[in-house]
């Protein structure tokens, strides 16, 4: 009986609390049928047809010489090239951004691939050409072959986003088919993600999973504000920390593709930069670490012409404050390669402003490309001279010596050895290389072996290969 009485009291209390809650809710009940039926469905219908699935594949046709193990062992490739003759494939998403059939996706979705197909939400499929790749931003542009009746997604203004704004992520996670997830903008200007060189990501808690890469991040106006690119995860699945490349950078890449460019041409500063840490900030009299420190200035470059000096701290680009080199690279890239832009700098404890010309990196000296066809480990490569433009294109330090591997035939001896685009040939048989003519002459010499010094990403190694 005691148990029953207590149970009756509990039921009565629950009913009273339920009535009180219902009375409280009456103060905010929907006032119309439209409010009752609030949904993201209209935005999804407006946009989902422009989000596509991207299927990429490749068959490696290299000859197996065994010499590529030298590059694997030394450079420690985390994802070494697959064995020759084997197939490789990837799956991701993309967004139709132009009625002519241009599709934006992540570069890592189609990286090293040579056969790309795009499937639309209505199940139509198109073959696609890769018209632009930019590994530094991790974006690529595809062109559908013979497109018709395409839904296009309008680019929004990622600069207008605020933390807390509602967003939708649309893509093809795990290959299950088009999926929509909802969340908010969790943070802006994330730069410590480690995905690309120009890191300035939108962070969202909308679920993003493998296969979402290259898909759309949509605002509530049905506009593209980001390209979903990466997640932070210990399991491989979403834990609510996803990152998207802002649409402002997408616009830069798309503009380059629309002009027929094969890569994005960025403005060239002509200076080396490093982050400002707490110790540097204290020595400069800054209240907190902010801006970027100029460690060297390239002679006769835009920075030098504008009066920028070693030891200056760049605090902002055209009024937009920056906290690290990634933020500077992003803001500076958005300015394009025409006109000029103001930089706020700190020098000797005082702030001032300088104006830097926005110009592409120069091709000085000229590339003078040389195609290597002679029987050697370099057969199948195209070598070019170092210049600011080449250094920018292949992410190389301009002060380093050597000629640059600009291209490698996939079925060549050089590819089987393990040479890649962007490798620097520093020396061959002990002779330093200052130009492509030097390289051509040295490679043409007869010898019983090759002593090769290579610089890849700042790591230098010398090895000897038999002929």
138 is annotated as an active-site residue: yes
Give the three-state DSSP class for 429: coil
- Residue 95, number of CB atoms within 10 A of its CB: 28
- Cα end-to-end span (Å), the chain: 98
Catalytic residue, from 213, 247, 256, 416: name it: 213
For residue 171, give Cα distances in angstroms to 141, 143, 338: 17, 19, 35
Catalytic residue, from 60, 138, 219, 438: name it: 138
Catalytic residue, from 108, 134, 412, 438: name it: 108
Cβ partners under 8 Å of residue 127, min gap 6: 116, 117, 118, 144, 145
- Rounded CA-CA distance 35/37 in Å is 5
- Residue 202, number of CB atoms within 10 A of its CB: 27
Helices 325-334 and 247-258, packing angle to 10 deg: 50
429 is annotated as an active-site residue: no
Cβ partners under 8 Å of residue 282, min gap 6: none
Residues constituting the chain? 467
For residue 103, give Cα distances in angstroms to 98, 169, 236, 411: 7, 17, 26, 29
- Rounded CA-CA distance 68/247 in Å is 39
401 is annotated as an active-site residue: no
Cβ partners under 8 Å of residue 147, min gap 6: 100, 101, 126
Catalytically active residues, by annotation: 108, 138, 213
């Amino acid at each position: 009986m005691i148990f029953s009485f207590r149970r009756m009291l509990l039921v009565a209390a629950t009913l009273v609390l339920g009535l009180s809650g219902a009375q409280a809710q009456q103060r905010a009940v929907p006032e119309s049928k439209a409010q009752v039926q609030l949904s993201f469905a209209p935005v999804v219908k407006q946009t989902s047809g422009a989000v596509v699935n991207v299927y990429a594949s490749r068959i490696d046709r290299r000859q197996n010489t065994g010499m590529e193990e030298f590059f694997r062992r030394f450079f420690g490739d985390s994802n070494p090239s697959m064995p020759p003759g084997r197939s490789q494939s990837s799956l991701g998403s993309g967004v139709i951004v132009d009625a002519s059939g241009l599709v934006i996706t992540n570069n890592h979705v189609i990286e090293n691939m040579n056969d790309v197909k795009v499937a639309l939400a209505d199940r139509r499929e198109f073959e696609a050409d890769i018209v632009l790749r930019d590994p530094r931003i991790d974006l690529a542009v595809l062109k559908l072959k013979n497109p018709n009746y395409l839904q296009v997604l309008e680019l929004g203004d990622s600069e207008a986003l605020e933390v807390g704004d509602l967003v939708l992520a649309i893509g093809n996670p795990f290959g299950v088919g088009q999926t929509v997830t909802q969340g908010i903008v969790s943070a802006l200007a994330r730069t410590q993600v480690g995905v690309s060189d120009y890191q300035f990501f939108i962070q969202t808690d909308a679920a993003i999973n493998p296969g979402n890469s290259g898909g759309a991040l949509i605002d509530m106006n049905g506009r593209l504000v980001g390209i979903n690119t990466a997640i932070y995860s210990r399991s491989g699945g979403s834990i609510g920390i996803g990152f998207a490349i802002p649409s402002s950078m997408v616009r830069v890449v798309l503009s380059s593709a629309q002009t027929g460019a094969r890569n994005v041409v960025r403005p060239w500063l002509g200076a080396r930069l490093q982050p400002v840490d707490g110790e540097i900030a204290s020595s400069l009299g800054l209240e907190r670490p902010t801006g970027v420190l100029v460690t060297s200035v390239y002679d006769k470059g835009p920075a030098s012409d504008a009066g920028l000096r070693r030891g200056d701290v760049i605090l902002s680009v055209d009024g937009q404050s920056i906290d690290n080199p990634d933020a500077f690279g992003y803001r500076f890239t958005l300015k394009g390669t025409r006109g000029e832009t103001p930089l706020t700098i700190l020098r000797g404890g005082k702030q001032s402003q300088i104006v830097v010309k926005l110009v592409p990196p120069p091709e000085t000296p000229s590339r003078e490309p040389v195609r290597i066809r002679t029987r050697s480990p370099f057969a199948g490569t195209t070598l070019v001279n170092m210049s600011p433009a080449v250094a920018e294109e292949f992410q190389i330090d301009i002060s380093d010596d050597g000629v640059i591997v600009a291209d490698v035939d996939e079925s060549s001896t050089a590819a089987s050895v393990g040479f890649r685009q962007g490798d620097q040939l520093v020396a061959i048989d002990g002779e330093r290389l200052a130009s492509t003519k030097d390289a051509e002459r040295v490679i043409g010499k007869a010898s019983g072996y090759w002593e090769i010094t290579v610089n890849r990403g700042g790591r230098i190694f010398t090895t000897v290969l038999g002929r």
